[in-house]
Amino acid sequence: MDTLAATLRTRLTAIAEPDRAPGMQAYMKSAMPCLGVSTVPLRAACKAVFADLHYADSAAWQRDVLEIWHGAEFREERYAAIELTGIRAARPFQTLDSLGLYEEMIVTGAWWDYVDAIATQRLRAIYQHDSAAMKRRMLA
């Protein structure tokens, strides 16, 4: 049985443009290699792979996100993990309880493109939902 991470890697590899990968990696000044998948095809692939996902709880969703994140061999897989954090099925989990997940991704990713996406899209949603508690956590 394929894992979500394996299915995703297969899909991304199928749509990759390997000739673009070195330029993408050089632009990011990253040691992590790229497959050569630009943003629009990456999001379309994620939408297809994640379309039927449903999560009983936040823990199951976070396990899938971190399996993709930690198992990533290519930068686009980490982008896909960030995409998974934003799917409709994950909306109920965008609470203070998910801050540990996002902290793990920011600390282990430690690159502007990851941090920008997580901060502006995911952390902002938590802040808008519960600004007082989020302010306290961020200041702490």
Distances (CA, A) of 56 to 11, 62, 92: 25, 11, 10
Given this model, what pLDDT does residue 17 score? Answer: 97
The pLDDT averaged over each successive group of 10 residues in the chain (140 residues) is 88 97 91 95 98 96 97 97 97 94 94 92 90 88
Q: How many CB atoms lie within 10 A of CB 51?
A: 10
Domain ranges of the chain: 4-139
Helix pair 4-15, 75-85: axis angle to 10 deg:
120
Given this model, what pLDDT does residue 100 score? Answer: 94
At the topology level, CATH places domain 4-139 in Leucine-rich Repeat Variant (1.25.10)
